[in-house]
Structures are given as C-alpha cells and as structure tokens.
Structure 1
C-alpha cells in the first residue's frame, strides 16, 4: 500500500471516530448504532451486559443521554490517541483512548478515561465497528 493510500485510509478512520462521537453526543441514537455492523458488539464495564445488534446499541446511546439529562449535564465523548494497529483487506484493528467529559453550569470535568479496542470492517463504503471492547484505564 502506498503512503498516500495509507494516509487516506487513516484520514477515513479518524473521520469515522469524529462522526461516531458527534452522533452519540447529539442524541442521534439510531445513527450512532448504524456505525456498527448489524450484529456489532459493544462490551463496556459501564453497562452490565454487552450490547449486541442495533436495538441494544440504540439502548446504549439512549442510556448515555438519559444519564446526562438526569445529572443536568452535557456529556461528550473525546476519542484521542487513535492508533491504527493493523489493516488487512477491509478489516482494521484500532486502539484509542476515550475521555468522557461532563459540563454543568459551573464547570467541566472528566468523568472517566477508558481504553478502547475496535475491530472495524469496511462495508458499503464506510468503516463500521464489528467488535468493541472498552476497558477502564488503570
């Protein structure tokens, strides 16, 4: 793969994460869920059970919004340190750091930092999550 095509692929993946965080943070639950494959999986210590499939993923997004509303906060996901570990024929393994922030009337604070490992698949012109594991940062 040439350096130019590698740079374009990295740019697409960075855009994928930017889009995904904007979708969940703006309450576009179904659109956020559509950034996963139809039977995509989301495993996180924040939620008691893995979310598998569109309906469960929509539920994760809705739970995030409801928790923020109940706390009277605006919450945001910030993906950083995106490391594209491996790409191979439309598949990609990515590691990154997630910061979740909460803003109330008087301050912004970091709620948590997490490590994310994603298996992405390129499908119908878009990167999508096949399998996501979220781990608490020690």
Structure 2
C-alpha cells in the first residue's frame, strides 16, 4: 500500500471503522504475544501474504503463519524474553475495490521477567484488510518495514 493507492472518492473515514480496525489489531496482537498461533492465523485470509524483513521470504497462507509463530515462540522461550506488540497511529482508508488499507506504526517491546523492558523494534506496518464471509476483518497482505534497516 502506498499513499497513491486508490481510495473511495469522497469517502468518509468513519469513527466506527477506525474503532473496528483498532479492536482488530488489539485482538490480533494479543493472540500473537500469547503464542496462540492458530487463532492469530485466523485473523488472516487463507491465502494471506506476510512480508517482514526478519524472514528470508514472505510467509504465505495460514499454515506458514502458524509455523512462523511457533518458531519465533521457541526462539523467545530459549532466550527467556517476552515480546509485546503495540500497533498505533492507524491511518485507515477504505478503497474503491472494497478493501481497507491501513498504515500503522508497530512497536515491539522486549522484556525478561524481573528485568527492564526495552524497545526491540520500531516498524511501519502496511495492511490490506478484507471482510470474510462472516463480516470480520482479515489481513490479506501485510508488509512490515523496520526503521533500523536501510
């Protein structure tokens, strides 16, 4: 998603949609931080693409998302570190094709029990959200860029 993506002409960025997107991210990131890989993967479409610079190539589909979360959880368990994801400053834009583009900032905090918390990463997250048959929002595509990488 870029700032030139087509949006619905004259669209009103409703408070209701913005609140729904914020609640979606709150639910999604807590599933991730709790290690609930399967439930987290259900917040994506079946054929979703997740592109993050910490991985050699984009993750595709729910099975890949589950495997990626499980691998990351095992790595964190080995180090004794916890991560908490905070998504904020969401710029929510309905598009002419019915999707919703969202550009937000993601801050990942890291901590160890009994230790101080620290900012682990600061990222920009660009999502394309769609509605499932049940009306719920899901991520079709997510591209994450990190502020500390060129």
Farther off after superposition, 22-31 or 88-97: 88-97
Answer whether contact 2:11 2:94 (CA < 8 A) is retained: no
1:107-122 residue pairs with structure 2 within 5 A? 107-122=116-131
Structure 1 residue 49: Cα displacement: 1.6
* Partner deviation per Cα, 1:18-60 (whole Å, 9 max, x = no partner): 0000000011100101100000010000111211001101012
* Partner deviation per Cα, 1:92-136 (whole Å, 9 max, x = no partner): 000011111111122101111111100010112211000100011
Farther off after superposition, 62-71 or 121-130: 62-71
Q: TM-score, normalised by structure 1?
A: 0.91
Q: Which residue of 1 aligns with 2:34?
A: 26
Aligned length in residues: 137
Stretches of structure 1 that go unaligned for 5 or more consecutive residues are none
1:26-105 residue pairs with structure 2 within 5 A? 26-88=34-96, 90-104=98-112, 105=114
Greater strand percent: which structure?
1
Structure 1 residue 67: Cα displacement: 2.1
Stretches of structure 2 that go unaligned for 5 or more consecutive residues are 1-9
State the distance in 2 between where 1:99 and 1:2 align: 29
Q: What is the Cα-based RMSD across aligned positions, in Å?
A: 1.8
Q: Which residue of 1 aligns with 2:144?
A: 134
Q: Tell me, what secondary structure is at the counterpart of 1:13?
A: helix
State the distance in 1 between where 2:93 and 2:87 align: 16
